[in-house]
Amino acid sequence: MKRTRFCPDTIVSEAPGPPGVVPRGRAAHSNPQARFESLRHGKVDDGWGGSDAGVTELETVVSVERSRSIISRNRSPDLPFAQSINPYRGCEHGCIYCYARATHPYLGLSAGLDFESRLFAKDNAAAVLRAELSRPGYRCQVIALGTNTDPYQPVERHWHITRELLELLNECSHPCTIVTKSALVERDLELLAQMAARRLVKVFVSVTTLDRKLARCMEPRAAAPQRRIAVLAALAGAGIQTGVLVAPIVPGLNDAEIEHILEAAATAGCREAGYGLLRLPHEVRELFEEWLAGQYPLQARRVLSLLRQARGGREEDARFGARMRGEGVLADLFERRFDTACRRLGLGRRDAELDTTRFRPPDGGCQLPLW
């Protein structure tokens, strides 16, 4: 049974447990120091004895973050959106490969266990968004939900922040896209169907693997793979434009599943597809290597070798364009396999565009009438 403790304005520090013991339901094996902190901490035997033996669970602690702005603007040429909203910082899904882990050190927290257990909820997000959409100079562009952390991660069941944002976007006919690996999105099926009828929403479900064992240790608190395929079917059945993201591709672990994932998604009624190569920025590289050595020790060297082959001899390449797809023979092979499977299955890279012409500022906006 997962436990979540909600803390109104602070985070309570908890020890992650004894060395070598991975807390149940977590992916990271450790909690390394945040890279911006000047102090370093370590365990010291003070002679009093005592033991952390038996500590196998780690509570999720959520703190309130009062946002002054909520829409993030993006100018990266290799991303398909210009505006995004992330209702939460940190993600309880705990995917070991998540590139967003590298953002937690900006808060003075670790990219390891802190990222998946020390979360921030932007509980005033809908109110702030209402004010931003009401500004006279606002220009409607599609808003992407879930570009950094999952908007439907488990704590959304309590906070309902994503739901509030969608209700506002529906109210003013503002288009959005959603990326998730959670079955909780089905909670909002009726609302999403209303938006889809006006071409205001697309939902993308990330499916990393169909192997339940691999998914359980790599994405410990996300929905099971077969459950995600069922979510795609439910969304498509409700008339909602759906897409599947085969991401990330981890060479030597899940790359053999590219075609199988696309086939399962197409059978479920999915209409679009995308993929991405594993990214390991900053602390994520060490965390992933630690996880790999602990969970797949016999494959670890091969996986890292293949990743370097697809990234010009490095584990990470942050250049625009190359960071998502990689480069070289192996990266080109992944792209050809993906494209070939999409053509065979009728999966388009992009479906019908969302409608930005219906937008009306909420409550009529803040502009005073002329007369």
| pLDDT > 90 fraction of the chain, expressed in percent and rounded | 73
For residue 224, what pLDDT band results from cuts at 50, 70 and 90? very high
In which band, very low, low, confident or very high, does the pLDDT at 28 lie, cut at 50, 70 and 90? confident
Q: Evaluate if residue 286 carries a pLDDT over 60.
A: yes
Kindly state the DSSP code that residue 353 receives in the 8-state scheme.
P
Q: Write down the pLDDT at residue 349.
A: 64
Residues 228-254: what's their mean pLDDT?
Answer: 97
Name the residue with higher pLDDT: 365 or 271: 271
Residue with the bigger pLDDT between 54 and 143: it is 143
Say what the pLDDT of residue 38 is.
54
Work out the pLDDT band at 33, boundaries 50, 70, 90.
low
Position 244 pLDDT exceeds 90: yes
Domains of the chain: 60-352 (3.80.30.30)
State what percent of residues in the chain have pLDDT above 70: 83
**pLDDT higher than threshold 80 for residue 147:** yes
Q: Quick one: pLDDT band at residue 20, thresholds 50, 70, 90?
A: low
Widest CA span of the chain, in angstroms?
80
Q: Is the pLDDT of residue 118 over 90?
A: yes
Q: Quote the tokens at residue 35.
A: 């890279």
> How many CA atoms does the CB half-sphere of 177 hold within 13 Å?
23
| pLDDT tens, position by position, 163-185 | 999 999 999 999 999 999 999 99
Per-residue pLDDT tens for 310-364? 998 888 887 887 788 899 999 999 999 999 999 999 998 665 689 999 999 997 5
Whole-structure pTM over 0.85, yes or no? no
Query: Residue 256 has which token pair?
Result: 């053999």
For 168, the 3-state DSSP assignment is helix
Beta strands in the chain (DSSP E): 4-6, 60-64, 72-73, 83-85, 88-89, 118-121, 143-145, 176-180, 201-206, 241-249, 272-277
pLDDT digit string (tens) for 94-112? 999 999 999 999 999 999 9
Q: In this predicted model, which residue has the larger pLDDT, 74 or 193?
A: 193
The pLDDT of residue 350 is: 62
- pLDDT above 80: residue 13: no
Measure the CA–CA gap between 69 and 88, rounded to whole angstroms: 13
**Alpha-carbon separation of residue 180 from 70, 208, 216, 282, 345 (angstroms):** 19, 12, 16, 24, 22
Span of 73-82, 211-220, 233-242, 309-318 with lowest mean pLDDT: 73-82
Bigger pLDDT: 319 or 308?
308
Contact 115, 104 (CB under 8 A): yes
Average pLDDT, the chain: 87
Q: Please report the beta strands in 14-97, taking only residues with DSSP state E, as ranges in sequence order.
A: 60-64, 72-73, 83-85, 88-89
Q: What is the pLDDT of residues 192-215, one digit of tens each?
A: 999 999 999 999 999 999 999 999
213: left (phi over 0), alpha (psi -120 to 50) or beta: alpha
- Which pLDDT band, with edges at 50, 70 and 90, does 50 fall under? very low
pLDDT for 5 equals 53
**Per-residue model confidence (pLDDT) at position 319:** 84
